[in-house]
A and B are shown apart, each in its own frame.
Chain A
Amino acid sequence: MHELSIAQSLLDIIIQEVNKNSISKVTWVKLRVGKFTSIEPSCLSFCFELLSKDTPAEGAHLRIESVSIRGKCRNCQEVFEPNDFLFVCPTCSGQDIEIINGRELYIQEIEGD
């Protein structure tokens, strides 16, 4: 249930941006969430709905874009999507893999009036 903490951080950032940009009502917020985070999107949306009551973000829809995991082999530079989180290069069987996608957890865009 750490989604509650994450929803609170998300709301704090939205309120800061809303104040900076003189927005009175947020309609949607676009997020990028990697598949190698332990975030459950429906749980995040539920917590956000609870926390955003009586704020300019009340009723705002979270557009959560999921980002697949991609690893890059440090040996042969191959970029691939690992199966079942097993980070083994399909080309050279190397195991020194840099995670280049999948750990995203950020706000990309806010729309409001």
Chain B
Amino acid sequence: MKIPVVRNILEVNERIAAENRRIFSENKVLVLNLISSPGAGKTSLLEHTIDALHKEIRIGVIEGDIQSNIDAKRISKKGIPTVQINTDGACHLDGNMIRETLNSLNLESLDLLIIENVGNLVCPAEFDTGENHKIMLLSIPEGDDKPVKYPLIFRQSSVLLINKIDLLPYVDCDINKIKKLSYRINPNLTIFEVSCKTQEGLSQWYRWVKKKVNALARKKSQR
């Protein structure tokens, strides 16, 4: 017996992600899903972003790691509401894992929630968590061939931060090639060249975040 079944395999995740998105929207929280390889600088970027913006914007963080709470400890030192998710082996966060943390976060008292995904350029691209934007971080030592090797995450991200530009004199990496390939995969990408070490370029990223938070708040108050 043949049964025609046209069903999306990720339907459960997509349903939960859509519910998350509705909850975030009702609470007027901008949600950013931060994705990169391990060691590209996600936690450093978070620390700087919190330092720069926490006086104007109420920030919360969800830390995703396979194991350990090292990152959550780093972030909670900043006095920011932080929830750690340990995926116990899973290579990405999914909609349900985010859903389960929402009881521990008072969303009404937040303007911005940053999800630091598990370090990985492949799997997190496939799983919607309900975020407003995927934010991708690529560091210079990873090389300029990454857009063509991991095109899906470049296509799905709203912002690409090219980090560790202070290392450009020391490594064989053509930053213009990264930008050119990235734009050909995703012409709508916003690209910032930054160094979390020297803080070069970060102010443009902060402006982008503030603009998005403010736009969301305005849209909500007009309803």
Contact = CB atoms under 8 A, between A and B. Distances in A.
Interface in B136-153: 148, 151-152
B6 to A, nearest CB: 6
Given A1-B91, A12-B12, A85-B151, A95 B184 contact: yes
B181 A86 contact: yes
A112 B91 CA distance: 33
Given A9-B12, A95-B183, A96-B187, A106 B1 contact: no
B94 interface: yes
A65 interface: no
B189 to A, nearest CB: 11
B97 to A, nearest CB: 11
A7 B183 CA distance: 33
B6 A107 contact: yes
A111 interface: yes
Interface string A97-113: 00100000111111111
Contacts of B12: 9, 12
Interface in A49-107: 84-88, 95-96, 99, 105-107
Interface in A1-48: 1-2, 4-6, 9-10, 12-13, 17, 21, 23, 31, 36-39
Instruction: Categorize the interface residue count of chain B.
Output: 20 to 34
Contacts of B70: none
A2 B120 CA distance: 11
B187 A95 contact: yes
Contacts of B9: 6, 9-10, 13, 31, 105-107
B91 A37 contact: no
Most buried by B among A13, A23, A99: A13
A23 B1 contact: yes
Contacts of B171: none
Contacts of B10: 6, 9, 105
A86 to B, nearest CB: 4
Interface stretch (B36-44, B74-82, B122-130, B162-170): B122-130
Closest 8 CB pairs of A and B: A85-B151, A2-B123, A95-B187, A86-B184, A110-B3, A38-B122, A111-B2, A106-B8
Interface of B: 1-13, 90-92, 94, 122-123, 125-127, 148, 151-152, 155, 181, 183-187
